[in-house]
Each structure stands twice: as C-alpha cells, then as structure tokens.
Structure 1
C-alpha cells in the first residue's frame, strides 16, 4: 500500500504533508503501537500464581506490580505531551520505546517483588510514549467525529492484543518460566522501534512546534485542569478504564483460584471479553455517525452501570459462572463505546495543545486505573467482592461525571 495520499486532512482542513500514510495504514501502525500497553498488562496475568510462588508472596501482592505499571503510565504521560509538542512526534516515541525495551529485560531478571514492581514502573514510563503520541497523531489529522472513528479503529487493532496476550503467556508457561514473558515483551519493543523508524512519518512540522519553558508547560496543564468539561470527560472515560483494570487485576485470582479455571483456559474467558470490547468499538463507528459522540457515550455508561450491578448481585448471591460471565461481558464491552468517545470529546477543542491535552488526559485516566487496581489488592479478602465492588463503584462515578452540566443562572 502506498503511503502517498491526499485523503487525510488536519482538523483545520489543511492538507497533510505528502508521504503521510493512508487512514487504514495509520490505524494499523498506531493500533499496533497502542497494543504494546495491553500486551504488557495482559501477557503475564496467567503467571500470577507462578510469580507468587517464585517470589514468595501472595497473589494479592503480585497484583501490586500491575498497579505499579499503571502508576508509571500515569506519571510518564505528563512528560511526553510537552515533549511531543516541542520535538515532534517521532523522537520522544523512539526514546520511550528504547526505555521500554531496557526495562522489560530488567523485569525478566527480577528476583524480588520490589525489584519487579520498580522495573514495571520504569517499563510503563517508556511504554506510555505510544499511548500519548498515538492520540496526538490522531488529533494532528482529524476533527472530533473523525477522531472518534479512528480511535474505534485503533481499538479494533489493539483489541487483538488482550485476546492473544494471555493465550501467549499461558502457552509460554508450558515450556518456560514467567521470565520468558518479559523477554518476549522486550522483542515486541524492538519490533515497534523498527516499525516507527521505517513506517511512521513525522506529523508535526518544525514550524508548528511549541518551544515552551517548564513554567509554560505547567500553565498549560493548569489551564486544562480548569476546564471542567475536559476534566469531567477525561475522568469519566478513566473510570470506565478503571473498571477494566479492576477486572484485569482481580480476574486471575477470581477465575483461576476461586472458579478453578486452569491458566491455559483462563485466556478463553479473557479473550471473549476482549472480543466484546472490540465489537462494541466497531459498532461505535456507526453509532457516532447517527447519534453523535456525547449521546452514545452517556447511554453506554448506563449500560455499564446495569451490567456491573448485575455482576455484583451475581457474586452476592453466589450464582456462579452462569451469572458472572454474561454481565461481565456486557460491562467490559461497554468500554468500547465509552472510552473512544470520552477521549474524542475531551480532546476535540485542543488542536494547538494536542500533545499536552493527550498527556494530561492519559495521566488522569491511568491514575484512575492504578487506583482501581491497588484498591482491589488492598481489599483482598479471598472472594470476588473486591473486584466487582470496585467495578460497580467506577460505573457509578462515571454516571455522575457524564451528567449534563446545569447552565449557569442568569443574573437578575
């Protein structure tokens, strides 16, 4: 497929520089780049019991390594936005992926839980470059509705990762230890470096770059934080993501230990839920065109709340997998409608500050995810209640944040 195209335009209507990839190619490249996050999060989930045994800790303690990774994503994204606005998109992305590869190798050699958690934190600092800059490149080319459609396409490509990652991890455990999982992730990082170096052109020309002091950067973030709509939409999307991270953190224990699903069969359940997320994200492309971004976003939150309430009741009354799996499927799938629309709506007004807006949005959302994963670990009581209670709480908060704002009263 040739990369010379005039089909892409920036939100302002100006042509994208000659040599820009087609929309399909851009979706494939950015989707593969974004898939690094799900691969890094999900591939090692089947190894939680083995990791706990090898490091001499509980599974609840192993869950903290996931929280450490999410915390690294939250912290790291703050830096990449201003860097992407100042130095362009490619240079920070290549630097971040290099750090990711080094940290993945460190994870493979960890001998204690604190060392592994620290390496996971650093791994996230590198890997989050792809998350921020993928959003920024999309915003370089598209308006709100176009961005929502492409974000949905990214979810289609990156959605393959949650299906394959636990399956790959579980199969690796049949022939090697958990350390091999992190060696594979290091190879994934090397492949991503080559892909970006060879196939993703720069989307921010030098004349459009913003050279700002540190004080200017903080003023930009402060201005974004004062925008109530941006913060509400970012955190509402973040709570939907947090519900998924509560599920990701707690599901190895719930399914492998409580429901006695083998590590090799666990990826089937995980993959089915990931498929629901992908399917919903593609339906979103059609729904947004007919009903608009915000309306679809709000209806999807109501669906998520109903699904997680049903999940909570299934656990309370101990109805077993027959009640857990359907409600979990619907709740996770709703994220395919919530997250791309929340992201597109929050980012839409900030073309000139796309990097900083993407960074702050990602930080807010990943902070929600890290909090949810840590809370599931902290509340661990040998049951599924911590996981499902956190998921339900996230949906309630999302509903409150997504409610239409009341107009300011007119002066008498």
Structure 2
C-alpha cells in the first residue's frame, strides 16, 4: 500500500521534473524561444491545480478507485499523444492533459490515507509517503537529463507513459476501494460539502496553515536563484547544490515526523514545526541585517531549519484538515491541492521579484517571516484549543447542522 501511495502521488510531479532538463533541446528542435518551451512546465502546473479541485469531489461521490483509474488512464492517453507530438503546441496541450490526469493520484493519496487511518496517524502516513517520494523526485531531473543525453528527449516521454501505465496496473490489481459504501454519495454533493467545510473555523485554520506553509517553499524557490547567482555572484551549478540541502532538510523533517507522531498530537507537532519554521526565518533576517547572508552557507544552512519545521507543519495541518469531515476527504484534499499549486505559482513569481529587484536577500527573508507568522496566526485564531477532542466534537456538530440543512 505504501508503494502504491508513493507511486500515485509521485507520478505527476516526477513527470514534471523529468522533462525540465530537456527544455533547451525542445526549444532548439522546434525552433521556438525557450519561454515557449517553458510552457510545457507552467501549463502542466496549471493542470495539476485545477484537476485536484475536480477529482477530489468526484471521488467523494463515485469512490476513489474508479476516479483514480480514469484519471491515470487520461494521463497514459495524453502521454501517447505527447510521444507523437509534431509541434510544440501539440506537446504543450498533451502535457496539460497529462497533468489533469496525473493530479488524480496526488489528491487521491491524501484521501485514501484518511480513509484507511485514524486521525492521529494521518500526519505520519502523509509524511512517510512524502519522504519516500522526495527521494524519487530529487533524482528525477538527473534521470531526465541522462535519458535526454543518451536516447533523446522523446525517451523521457516514453518512460513517463510507461510509468503511468505501470501505476494503473498496480492500482487495478492491488488497490481496493477505500471509500466506505455508505459514504460513496456525499450528501447533496460538492456544493454542500464545500459549504459545510468552509463553515468550519477549524478546517479553514488547518487549510490555510497547510497552504501558507507550502507558499514558503514556492517563494524561496522563486527567489533563491536570483539571490545566489545575481546577488552573490555564484554559478547556477553551485545554486543547485545548495538548493538540494533544502530538499534534504524537508526529507529529514518528514522522517522525524513519522517517528514522533505516535507519541504526540497533531497540534503539538504543528506547533513544534511552526517554532522551527519561524525561528529559522528570523535567523535568516538577522544574518541578512548583519551582512552574513551574502554567503550561501549562512542562507541555506539556516533555511534548512525552516524546511525541517515546514515538514511537520504541512503533513500535520493536512491531517487536521482532512479529519474535520472524513466523508468529504476528497473535496478537502482537492481544495488543499488547488490553493497550494494555483497560488503557489504566484508566490514563486513574487519570490523571483524579491530576489531580482533587491541587492540583498533580506526582503525575501522577511517574506518568509511574514508567511511563517501567517501559519501561526491561523492556528491561534481559527483552530479550537484542546486539539483532537475539540476537532472530533466539531465533526459531530457539523454533521448535525448538515443533516438539518438537507
């Protein structure tokens, strides 16, 4: 089950990163500007965002398994189309539909975890899936570069399509329907689910905490290259090596979350992560104001603290949001993914603006402090005190109100 969850979660983002090293070759082969070739990535991210908003509610109504198989079948068909694309617009369109189908696995894995595990284990399982997936995701650009160099850029598309097909076979053979039969039709549908979920302060608090924490990653990723290459005068290769430390810290954070989760509540783990996240961000501002942040080591080694804490915040706030109304876990997961990916792209652009228009990394670091404070504010102002007990009582209250409305 763990391998299936990792495979269905990772097939879409790994497919995204595998093609990135081949973008210059795509521009050369099709005789287009690199910015046009970049649309194979940017529109792919748009597809990931909107698909999650659609597939999540569909899985609440029709079940996880049929929606998951249908989405991944679309990914395979779009993969075949990308292989035989003769123009760059055709390839861009095929990649967009690939993302629409592949995102099904991302949104469904969170819902399936909530179906299978009690509330206090959801965060640990999400962390475990992310930790394993991170390893594959960090290696995917290297694999894409080797394939493009040795066999040509279309070899990447062949591998992506074959991997998608393998995931479908694994799901068809090994994955049962995890949605309870009695819950397959969720009340009055998506609109009613959204109304009830958004009417819960706890859900909004966990949701915003998760989404804002993810924006920290996007903002730093957007501004980091400009800070290291433009402001510090280092090479792109050196930036890539330093940026890998952020991924390593995030991976270690998820592994530690798996270890600590059985002995601590979701709320305790979130606050532990928030403390590290805010503390690391504040330290980076201090280094910047004292001039130490002009060395990559000061910037990234401190940012590792931020990313280590970020892993605790994201996995456990996701667990809290999914547990407010378990029978609507698909809709909740879809909303999380849509806000994360959709607005994350804007945060990446904002981070790039901060890195490219200032002479020091201080503005970028201040933005991370503000986002960290936003995560903490969501927990303080919106999530009830008392942790799991208060949230479980809220579930019953919300269900009673929903029944009365219907």
- TM-score w.r.t. the length of structure 2 is 0.79
Normalized per residue, which structure has more helix? Answer: 2
C-alpha deviations, 1:168-215, integer Å up to 9, x for none? 1233343355554344322221121111112111122544310666xx
Structure 2 residue aligned with 1:147, among 122, 129, 132?
122
- Matched with 1:401 is 378
The Cα RMSD (Å) is 3.5
Question: In 2, distance between residues paired with 1:392 and 1:254?
Answer: 17
2: CA distance between counterparts of 1:320 and 1:49? Answer: 30
Residue 102, structure 1, aligned to residue 77, structure 2: yes
Matched position secondary structure for 1:259? coil
| Post-superposition CA distance 1:221-244 (Å, at most 9, x none) | 122122222122112111222222
Q: Distance in 2 between matches of 1:134 and 1:150?
A: 10
Distance 2:91 2:82 in 1: 6
Partner of 1:355: 330
Q: Given the alignment, which residue of 299, 311, 328 partners 1:324? A: 299
Partner of 2:253: 280
- List alignment gaps of at least 5 residues for structure 1: 1-25
Distance 1:29 1:406, change over 3 A: closer
Bigger mean CA deviation after superposition, 305-314 or 359-368: 305-314
User: 2:381, 2:191 → 1: CA distance?
Assistant: 29
Bigger shift: 353-362 or 39-48? 39-48
**Structure 2: how far apart are the matches of 1:92 and 1:225?**
24
CA distance in 2, matches of 1:251, 1:107: 31
What's 1:20 paired with? Answer: none
Kindly state the Cα deviation for residue 111 of structure 1 after the two structures are TM-superposed. Answer: 4.6
Q: What 5-or-longer segments of structure 2 have no aligned partner?
A: 386-406
Name the residue aligned to 1:246.
219
Tell me the equivalent position of 2:339.
364
1:1-400 matches, within 5 Å, as: 26-47=1-22, 56-57=32-33, 66-106=41-81, 109=85, 111-112=87-88, 118-210=93-185, 216-249=189-222, 259-262=234-237, 268-311=241-284, 317=291, 319-376=294-351, 381=356, 391-400=368-377
Distance (whole Å) between structure 2 residues aligned to residue 285 and residue 133 of structure 1: 20
| Cα 1:38–1:134 shift into 2, 3 Å | same
- Which one is further off, 88-97 or 216-225? 216-225
Q: Report if the CA contact (8 A) 1:166-1:267 is conserved.
A: no
Q: Does the 8 A contact of 1:140 with 1:351 survive in 2?
A: yes
CA distance in 2, matches of 1:116, 1:380: 31
For residues 314 and 57 of structure 1, the distance between their equivalents in structure 2, rounded to whole angstroms, comes to 39
Question: How many residues were matched structurally?
Answer: 377
- Please, which moves more after superposition, 194-203 or 41-50? 41-50
Shift of 1:396: 3.5
Give the Cα separation in 2 of the matches to 1:248 and 1:52: 24
Distance 2:126 2:68 in 1: 19
